[in-house]
């Protein structure tokens, strides 16, 4: 097959971006009709609606034992009634093993060509996938389009580029000539990058595509087969991706069972059973820490992204209003259901330094509450920034936070009406003040729209607490606001020791929640929030083994 000139250009640019870490996006993130076509949005919405109440037959995984699916829209407050083919563990593994032995023989260049082709096909379905993501996760339309479409495709391409780069790092063969005095010892040497076997990718309910495709594409580019097991509450977004991977494989003449969709229900989960099977050699997981930590104990190559406690450190600012506006947006964005969303806001009891003098803790807290209220009550912004809540337990957690934690409540959580979906499940942020002495109350992740304003002795204590929580509980993101160069370096140094990236002094249209493919490492793998990183060399190198062969020349 080989890489076409178009595919090679895409791959070369992606590899170059891995090295430069400069901005690179293969797939435009804005749903512009000029880019994607005048009717792309309407066509995508219609295609999504056509799936409802029907069997998803595009996978062409035949011989199913039945059809299952229990997804529910947080906007419709009703089931999607999309059904997917179900198979026994034995059938899935037998097909995956057969697919593996065919796929591992395919050259890295041919694998890359097929996988890039699948992404190009998927790019024609970004709008359809956006609506599928909205109505399984509760994300707002723009986030659903970007995160499950262009950003996910770029993360997948990043994994392809990283894998291809590592597979190409060393020569396949070499003549080894060692002078021995009166004669030379000459060997012909060959090295093979041998994939591990069957991979299992276990997805989450809030970011079903963005969090899953890196593992899927990393497995496939390195020659492994893969079982893709989405969360039972958010299957359709990944079903669309898997369908296009299988289409690309099939059309290129390869066994499409190198990539299979695995579905289950909340009452009959299959992830643990598959993960423990001796034939599964690789596991990628995004989700809660308890199950992720269990997976890490298995004698396999395991790549996890788990939960963490993310912090914001407020020391000094150039413009307090712009800083507060930025961080309150970060809390409200998708109702705090992002793994990078901040939870703990450490503020010195003496206040925050500004060019106009020190602003007291209470004044900062009031601004925090007022800006949050202004955002969620803005009819043109609030409902679309908040989106809907994927799981009713997240609403319950936010509603009970004040009673469970105690402390001064600066802002109570409530539901607001979404003008487009009257039945949408919504929850605005609650803002609660705690003391730094109440560590037991803020040292666990409180998933959802919950902001804790924690009064500390000074910024040094703020940093110490943020670092301690990152080391003990894990953290995926950290934000800091300081105009002092020495304090900035101190924060950077301390948090780097806790393997936590820091975003400094963000204002405007960039938020601590966001990570860019080809530039930002998502999760470092260095603290309890996860043991892997999108996408460093280790993320792909652990999926294959270099094995050498040699003979006398």
Give the model's confidence band at 1: pLDDT under 50 very low, under 70 low, under 90 confident, else very high.
low
Place of tokens 């936590």: 500
Q: What angle do CA 463, 467, 471 make, to 5 degrees?
A: 175
In sequence order, the β-bridge partners of residue 190 are 173, 549
pLDDT of the residue at 381:
95
* 432-475 pLDDT tens trace: 999 999 999 999 999 999 999 999 999 999 999 999 999 999 99
Report how far residue 550's alpha carbon sits from residue 502's, in angstroms, rounded to the nearest whole number: 48
Q: Where are the domains of the chain?
A: 5-168+189-306, 311-504
What are 248's two structure tokens?
């690309």
* 312-358 pLDDT tens trace: 999 999 999 999 999 999 999 999 999 999 999 999 999 999 999 99
What are 476's two structure tokens?
């995926």
CATH superfamily ID and name for 5-168+189-306: Aldehyde Dehydrogenase; Chain A, domain 1 (3.40.605.10)
Say whether domain 311-504 belongs to CATH 3.20.20.70: no
Do residues 102 and 255 make contact, with C-beta atoms less than 8 angstroms apart? yes
202-211 b/e (C-beta count within 10 Å ≥ 16 → b): bbbbbbbbbb
245-259 b/e (C-beta count within 10 Å ≥ 16 → b): bbbbbeebebbbbbb
* 210-250 pLDDT tens trace: 999 999 999 999 999 999 999 999 999 999 999 999 999 99
Do residues 496 and 524 make contact, with C-beta atoms less than 8 angstroms apart? no
DSSP string, 124-138: TTHHHHHHHHHHHH-
* 176-197 pLDDT tens trace: 999 999 999 999 999 999 999 9
In the predicted structure, residue 490 carries a pLDDT above the cut 80: yes
In sequence order, the β-bridge partners of residue 189 are 174, 550
* Phi, psi (deg, nearest 5) at residue 198: -90, 130
- The DSSP symbol for 190 reads E
* Phi, psi (deg, nearest 5) at residue 291: -70, -35
What are 226's two structure tokens?
């893969």
Report how far residue 66's alpha carbon sits from residue 84's, in angstroms, rounded to the nearest whole number: 8
Number of residues written out for the chain: 553
Percent of the chain as helix, strand, coil, to the nearest 5: 40, 20, 40
């Amino acid at each position: 097959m080989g890489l076409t000139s178009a595919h090679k250009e895409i791959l070369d640019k992606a590899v170059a971006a891995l090295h430069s870490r400069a901005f690179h996006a293969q797939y435009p993130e804005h749903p512009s009709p000029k880019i994607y076509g005048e009717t792309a949005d309407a066509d995508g919405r219609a295609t999504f609606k056509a799936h409802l109440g029907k069997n998803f037959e595009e996978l062409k995984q035949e011989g199913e034992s039945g059809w299952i699916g229990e997804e529910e829209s947080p906007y419709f407050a009703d089931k999607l009634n999309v059904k997917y083919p179900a198979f026994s563990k034995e059938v899935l593994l037998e097909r995956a093993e057969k697919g593996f032995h065919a796929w591992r023989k395919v050259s890295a260049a041919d694998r890359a060509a097929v996988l890039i082709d699948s992404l190009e096909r998927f790019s024609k379905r970004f709008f359809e996938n956006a609506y599928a993501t909205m109505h399984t996760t509760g994300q707002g339309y723009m986030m659903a389009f970007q995160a499950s479409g262009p950003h996910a495709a770029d993360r997948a391409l990043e994994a392809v580029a990283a894998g291809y780069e590592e597979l190409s790092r060393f020569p396949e063969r070499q003549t080894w000539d060692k002078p021995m005095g009166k004669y030379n010892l000459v060997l012909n040497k060959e090295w093979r990058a041998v994939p591990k076997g069957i991979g299992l990718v276990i997805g989450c309910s809030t970011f079903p595509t963005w969090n899953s495709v890196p593992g899927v594409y990393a497995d496939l580019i390195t020659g492994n087969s893969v079982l893709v097991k989405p969360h039972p509450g958010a299957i359709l977004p990944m079903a669309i991706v898997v369908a296009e991977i299988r289409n690309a494989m099939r059309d290129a003449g390869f066994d499409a069972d190198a990539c299979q969709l695995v579905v289950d229900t909340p009452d009959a989960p299959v992830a643990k059973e598959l993960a423990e099977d001796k034939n599964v050699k690789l596991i990628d997981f995004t989700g809660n820490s308890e199950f992720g930590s269990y997976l890490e104990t298995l004698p396999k190559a395991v790549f996890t992204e788990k939960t963490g406690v993310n912090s914001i450190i407020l020391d000094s600012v150039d413009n307090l209003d712009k800083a507060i506006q930025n961080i309150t947006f970060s809390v409200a964005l998708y109702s705090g259901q992002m793994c990078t969303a901040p939870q703990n806001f450490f503020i010195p009891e003496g206040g925050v330094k500004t060019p106009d003098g020190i602003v007291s803790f209470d004044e900062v807290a009031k601004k925090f509450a007022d800006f949050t209220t202004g955002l969620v009550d803005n009819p043109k912004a609030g409902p679309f920034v908040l989106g809907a809540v994927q799981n009713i337990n997240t609403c319950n957690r936010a509603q009970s936070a004040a009673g469970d934690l105690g402390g001064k409540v600066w802002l109570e959580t409530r539901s607001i009406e979404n003008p487009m979906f009257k039945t949408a499940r919504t929850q605005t942020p609650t803002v609660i003040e705690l003391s730094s002495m109440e560590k037991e109350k803020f040292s666990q992740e409180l998933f959802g729209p919950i902001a804790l304003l924690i009064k500390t002795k000074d910024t040094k204590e703020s940093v110490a607490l943020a670092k301690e929580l990152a080391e003990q509980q894990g953290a995926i993101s950290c934000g800091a606001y300081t105009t002092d160069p020495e304090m900035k370096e101190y924060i950077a140094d301390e948090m780097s020791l806790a393997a936590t990236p820091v975003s400094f002094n963000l204002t405007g249209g960039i938020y601590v929640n966001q990570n860019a493919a080809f530039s930002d490492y998502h999760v470092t793998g260095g603290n309890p929030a996860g043991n892997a990183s999108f996408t460093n060399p280790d993320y792909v190198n652990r999926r294959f083994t270099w094995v050498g062969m040699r003979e006398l020349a």
